[in-house]
A and B are shown apart, each in its own frame.
Chain A
Amino acid sequence: MATPLAGIRVLEFSQVIAAPFAGQLLAELGASVIKVEPPEGESWRHQAAFAPGESKSFQSLNRGKRAVTLRLDNPRARELVQRLVRTIDVVLINYRPDVPAKFGIDYETLGRLNPQLIYADLTAFGRIGPWALRPGYDGVVQAVSGLLAGEAKLRPDGSPATIATTAIADYATGMVLADAIVTALLHRARTGEGQFVACSLLATALNLQGDLVMERPAADAERNALRARRRKAQQAGVAYDRLVAERTASRASADAVYERCWLVLDGAIAIAAELPAERIALGRLCGFDPAAGALLAAERISAWSGARTRADALTALTQAKVPAVDVLFGEELAEDAQARDNTIFAALEHEQSGAQTAVTPLLRFATPAPPPRPSPAIGRDTDGILAELGYSAAEVAELRSAGAIGGAR
């Protein structure tokens, strides 16, 4: 069984998407992950909940973990954490930068107890700077990083619409954090040293647009001229949607006809003809002679595709070696042959909510991964973890009545 991180113990103080996803990746790789939550459970359990304390999104982000409920503002709970952290390799945390110290779970405190500790910190905007203490979500980061405006998607009233299919900054930052943790584990394996690693939603969002955000004077004459014009228009009070429309128009390219979607009789297809040979082949399919010199017109392709079914269009394109696929909806992928043949969806049973599927494992090694384990109910493992730490049943009951830990399961 592929469990490359077997033996690594992670203590996760996490909520919402990014940090929990990082912890789930580590759990998927075989690490032992303990998630610390307040007694009512973390906020994402209650976002679009289908049952008390259970939401589909939470269940898809917290597989394979054990769950402990603690009141971190209770000194007895903090003692417990300090005892626990001596047995831990990685602390994973996404609280606002000023919060951990208040609860004694900052790196200075925990690193002193365990010098080999890897402390992995995730914030919305970074640990310092004018926004360091401001609260943030993926949508806010999309806005302030340029992702939102860059997407050029507008609501009917002309205001920006978000990338709605996924919280891309959140997911990508979770991956960055897991990657940084493994890098730190590598260093520790070599040197015995722990360390502090950090990432932020904002830094990730910038990475997702690296080529748009970067400044390269030698290549930027036109870009910077457009930027200057747009800033001037903004100051003059031109509305947001006009600015977006102008920016989109300035980026239009004749190449776009080769890489876009087309309607077919029974749906839509996407054609990505990048290489010259692919473009010539596409033109030929549509009865277009490239030697004639003109560019392949969109009307020609849409006439060709619009007269065909998905199956016929894709068969012809595949035979002509033009990369193309059909446009599907997320809800219909479970039955999809490509997903099935590659065992992309795994089936599992959740104690509280029953049958579900998951996209796992994301990293595949030579040996198969162990079967996925579902997400935990609130505080499911509190008593078990305390017993492992050496607390007696009486001590656990006492901690509970002192309000340091959550209710029994």
Chain B
Amino acid sequence: MSRAPYQGVTVLELADGVACAYAGMLLADRGARVILLEPPAGHPLRHRPSPGAGSAKRFAWLARGKESLGWDDDSAQAMTVLERLLGRVDVLLTDRAESWFAARGLPLDELLHRFPQLWIARNSAFGARGPLADLPPRDLLLQARSGLLAGEAKLAGDGVTPLPLCSTAMTAYPTGILLALGVGTMQLSGERQVSVSEYAVALAVSAVRTTDNAAADRLRNLAKQKLAAARARGADHALLRAARADLAVPPGNVFYRAFRTRDGAVFVGALSRPLRDKVRRVLGIDYGYPDDPTFDPADPARRAECVAMEAAVEAQFRAETSATWVARFDAAGVPVGEVIFPEDASALPQVLANGDVVAVDGDASELQVAHPARFGGWAMPPPRPAPAPPTIAAPDWVDDWIADPAR
């Protein structure tokens, strides 16, 4: 493949959230021309760090390979500039609500009519309708509303207040990938608009919790009923959590979890009977749960056995080093891995061997995570740096600017 897959496609990114930013990044990596509209104060991602990463890094990562154009929503010329752009680009990538467009005299459902060359890829966030339709797609809100946050049961020091997941913007990145998929699908098919609801994505990736399956849901239905009854009584959050006790994973899972070791931690991943048998052999334990059908973890005696077994195995792992445990489980063919911190990932031999981090074009000292897919026959060039803060576009030069192929 000699030509970049999205060469010749121009994308106008009019969005604040990580989902559209990541979608734009994926498309830019694949050769699309991605124009990022930034307000006078700079795009919010320039200023909003993810915890511990600093704002400079987040923007450098998500805006790589893009071009910036300043756009002042408050200025008299704003709509003239925007209409000029919409008349020239191939794809509008946005997470603004329908009301935002309508308020500016550019209702979304008329855009395709007014601009016959335009396609639209939209993160509809919580959805185009309903009481939450105008909420911005912020990670915390999506986690909270979708059950991801409460279901995670990560609690603050008071033992009750829920804490959000923090290792990643976990609804935004998948939504961004689906938006990129949507743009490609439109190109293949002639469909001119696609929308992905980040809220729906949050529900989809936890489908086992959020969807109904009459034959499978005995315990879940019990929990649903108790939860509904607790809600009706106005129960507080602690009681609501307790109402779902039937869904709690019983103790005794020593087969698919992480363990502290003498010098760190490892994760053991045995998800089948044969693999669990291997774990039993490596650990030298005679432990029927969960494969022995006569082993009932609800029976108090058996439950005590589960608790004791878990504590014993934890102590076993703590007695030896991570390297020892990894070697043992590797030799037995059980999936296992050492727990590392994110700041160590870029130096992993496996990561380096596969080119999963790459130097940014023009600055070999900056290493970024590589595009997640590899294409045979097309050597993806190194990513270009993120753009510097732009000047505000004016109608008298924006046409020339966008027409310039050298950009």
Interface residues of B in 207-222 (CB under 8 A from A): 207-217, 220
Q: How many residues of A contact B (CB 8 A)?
A: 166
Q: Mark B1-43, 1 if CB is under 8 A from A, else 0.
A: 1010110000000000000000000100010000000000000
B353 pairs with A129, CB closer than 8 A: yes
B56 within 8 A of A: yes
A345 to chain B, nearest CB (A): 7
**How far, in whole Å, are A366 and B51 apart by their CA atoms in the complex?**
38
User: Beyond the given A153-B152, A187-B5, could you list 10 further A-B residue pairs with CB under 8 A, ordered by the A residue number?
Assistant: A56-B208, A150-B167, A185-B184, A261-B144, A266-B235, A274-B48, A326-B145, A332-B224, A332-B227, A354-B214
**How far, in whole Å, are A246 and B56 apart by their CA atoms in the complex?**
23
B267 pairs with A143, CB closer than 8 A: yes
Q: Can you name the residue of chain A whose Cβ is closest to the Cβ of B233?
A: A266
Partner of A182, one of B152, B184, B338: B184
A114 within 8 A of B: no
B131 pairs with A140, CB closer than 8 A: no
Known A-B contacts A159-B314, A183-B184; the reply to A199 vs B203 at CB < 8 A is no
Residues of B within 8 A of A184 (CB): 5, 375
**How far, in whole Å, are A110 and B256 apart by their CA atoms in the complex?**
36
B114 to chain A, nearest CB (A): 16
Interface residues of B in 236-267 (CB under 8 A from A): 236-237, 240, 244, 247, 256-260, 262-267
A140 pairs with B335, CB closer than 8 A: yes
B151 pairs with A227, CB closer than 8 A: no
B209 pairs with A330, CB closer than 8 A: yes
Residues of B within 8 A of A364 (CB): 124, 194-197
Tally of A-B Cβ pairs under 8 angstroms: 543
B353 pairs with A126, CB closer than 8 A: yes
A325 within 8 A of B: yes
Q: Mark A159-170, 1 if CB is under 8 A from B, else 0.
A: 111111110100
**How far, in whole Å, are A265 and B193 apart by their CA atoms in the complex?**
43
A240 pairs with B168, CB closer than 8 A: no
Q: Is the interface of B mostly helix, strand, loop or mixed?
A: mixed
Residues of A within 8 A of B271 (CB): 16, 43, 47, 137
B78 within 8 A of A: no
Known A-B contacts A140-B337, A163-B152, A331-B220; the reply to A353 vs B54 at CB < 8 A is no
**How far, in whole Å, are A47 and B216 apart by their CA atoms in the complex?**
12
Q: Can you name the residue of chain A whose Cβ is closest to the Cβ of B25?
A: A210
B336 pairs with A140, CB closer than 8 A: yes
Partner of B258, one of A25, A162, A202, A267: A162
Partner of A240, one of B244, B260, B376: B260
**How far, in whole Å, are A327 and B210 apart by their CA atoms in the complex?**
14
**How far, in whole Å, are A340 and B52 apart by their CA atoms in the complex?**
37
Residues of B within 8 A of A16 (CB): 271
Known A-B contacts A328-B144, A338-B199; the reply to A240 vs B184 at CB < 8 A is no
Q: Can you name the residue of chain B whose Cβ is closest to the Cβ of A359?
A: B204
B246 to chain A, nearest CB (A): 10
Q: Can you name the residue of chain B whose Cβ is closest to the Cβ of A213?
A: B345
B200 pairs with A149, CB closer than 8 A: no
Q: Can you name the residue of chain A whose Cβ is closest to the Cβ of B170?
A: A168
**How far, in whole Å, are A153 and B350 apart by their CA atoms in the complex?**
25
B110 within 8 A of A: no
Residues of B within 8 A of A47 (CB): 271-272
**How far, in whole Å, are A223 and B174 apart by their CA atoms in the complex?**
27
B265 pairs with A175, CB closer than 8 A: no
A72-80, A190-198, A280-288, A384-392: which one contacts chain B? A190-198
